[in-house]
């Protein structure tokens, strides 16, 4: 089931939170809504779930206009950023969700078992939901959303608040779980690596406006403007009235298609590799040095392949 936003306007007081003339989230795919904090990402999810009403425009789930009614809610599963449970065990929480959706008793047990297994919480089903650790709570939160098997699954920062190992594990397990249970998934994240790993399509939202939308490779490979490129992890370097944007991890030591002079400030020896840290035209960057290189000159030539470099008019204040 696809999701369409048409002439959407959402305000809080005088502040325009969202202004989206047109956007379509494709059916059957995982779409990441990415953008900095306060860009309006979570508000978009809330509009899809009809937890907010737009001031103008419409949100359609398939052919149905999103309204705060049971028919709309039945189309949506929502894992909130902050996992929230009622008293009782994890199993009771999942069961309550399915009961509220009027799933027959026999099917509820089967769905709970399947979602719990996919999210790796089978051993936690009997535990009190308020006694889960952060990572366990996120998995239980996800399992509850997936058990609903709704046509549209909304995940708000599903990896937030996790420590590095828990985040890595869930990042590994999540794609398979989404493939198994979710149809159309909209995922909110401010982390581009999460978006790259989890989503097929990406929508970049900055200041409530869609800056880029489309398949992951196209959005990451060709950002429309410098600000979007900066958010996607590109390094922005001023160059004669323009801004040169270099894709993440594209800079290498030595000459190449697009060459820069790196003023080396520090060389970090990390045991398995060494990194040169410094600045290109005042912009802080680092590059990984080839193994065995002895001395590092104060001014190091670095380069990037032409296909990983974009040029934009210099409208952005570098370093802002």
Contact between 306 and 244 under an 8 Å Cβ cutoff? The reply is: no
Binding of other proteins by 160 (CB under 8 A)? no
Return the number of the residue (73 or 111) whose C-beta is nearest other proteins.
Answer: 73
Closest separation in Å from C-beta 83 to other proteins:
9
Give residues 59-88 in contact with other proteins (rule: CB under 8 A): 68, 70, 73-74, 76-78, 80, 82, 84, 86-87
DSSP class of 254:
S
Smallest gap from Cβ 120 to other proteins, in A, equals 22
Report the nearest approach of other proteins to the CB of residue 180 (Å).
21
Looking at the Cβ atoms of 155 and 230, the one nearer to other proteins is 155
* Residues 168, 41: Cα–Cα separation, whole Å: 23
161 phi and psi, to 5 degrees? 75, 10
Nearer to other proteins, 154 or 244 (CB): 154
Q: CA 280 to CA 278: how far, in whole Å?
A: 7
- CA distances to 6, 37, 45 from 11, in Å: 15, 16, 15
The residues, any chain, with a CB within 8 Å of residue 50's CB and separated by 6 or more, are: 59, 66, 67, 68, 69, 72, 73, 76
Q: Which of residues 94-153 bind other proteins (CB under 8 A)?
A: 96-97, 100-102
Tell me the backbone φ, ψ of residue 128, rounded to 5 degrees. Answer: -60, 130
Q: Across-strand partners of 128?
A: 89
Residue 4 binding other proteins, by CB under 8 A:
no
310 touches other proteins (CB under 8 A)? no
Pattern of binders to other proteins over 36-55, x per CB under 8 A? ----------x--x-x----
CB contact at 8 A, 47 and 59 = yes
**Size, binding site for other proteins by CB under 8 A:** 20
Q: What is the 3-state secondary structure (H, E, C) of 127-163?
A: CEHHHCCHHHHHHHHHHHHHHCCCCEEEEECCCCCCC
Does residue number 274 form part of the binding site for other proteins (CB under 8 A)? no
Least separation in angstroms between residue 153's CB and other proteins is: 11
Closest to other proteins by CB, 5 or 85: 85
96 or 318: CB nearest other proteins: 96
Which segments within 35-99 are labelled E, that is strand? Answer: 56-61, 64-65, 76-79
Choose between 82 and 110: whose C-beta lies nearer to other proteins: 82
Closest CA to 143 of 168, 110, 169, 177: 177
Q: Which is nearer to other proteins, 77 or 287 (CB)?
A: 77
Query: Which residues of this protein are in contact with other proteins, per CB under 8 A?
Result: 46, 49, 51, 68, 70, 73-74, 76-78, 80, 82, 84, 86-87, 96-97, 100-102
């Amino acid at each position: 089931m696809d999701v369409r936003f048409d002439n959407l306007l959402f305000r809080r007081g005088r502040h325009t939170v969202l202004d989206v003339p047109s956007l379509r989230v494709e059916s059957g795919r995982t779409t990441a809504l990415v953008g900095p904090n306060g860009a309006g990402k979570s508000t978009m999810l809330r509009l899809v779930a009809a937890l907010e009403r737009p001031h103008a425009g419409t949100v359609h789930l398939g052919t149905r206009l999103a309204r705060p009614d049971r028919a709309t809610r039945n189309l949506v599963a929502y894992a909130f950023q902050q996992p929230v449970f009622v008293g009782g065990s994890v199993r009771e929480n999942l069961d309550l969700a399915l009961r509220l959706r009027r799933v027959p008793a026999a099917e509820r047990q089967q769905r709970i078992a399947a979602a719990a297994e996919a999210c790796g919480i089978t051993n936690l089903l009997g535990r009190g939901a308020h006694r889960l650790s952060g990572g366990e709570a996120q998995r239980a939160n996800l399992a509850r959303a997936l058990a609903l098997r709704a046509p549209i699954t909304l995940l708000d920062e599903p990896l937030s608040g996790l420590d590095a190992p828990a985040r890595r594990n869930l990042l590994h397990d999540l794609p398979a779980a989404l493939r198994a249970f979710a149809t159309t998934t909209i995922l909110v994240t401010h982390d581009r690596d999460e978006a790259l790993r989890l989503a097929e399509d990406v929508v970049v939202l900055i200041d409530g406006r869609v800056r880029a939308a489309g398949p992951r490779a196209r959005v990451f490979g060709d950002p429309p403007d410098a600000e979007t490129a900066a958010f996607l992890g590109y390094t922005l370097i001023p160059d004669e009235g323009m801004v040169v944007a270099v894709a993440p991890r594209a800079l290498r030591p030595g000459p190449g298609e697009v060459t820069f002079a790196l003023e080396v400030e520090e060389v970090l020896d990390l045991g398995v590799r060494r990194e040169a840290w410094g600045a290109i035209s005042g912009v802080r960057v680092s590059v990984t040095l080839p193994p065995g290189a002895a001395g590092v000159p104060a001014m190091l030539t670095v380069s990037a392949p032409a296909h990983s470099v974009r040029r934009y008019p210099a409208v952005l204040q570098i370093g802002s």
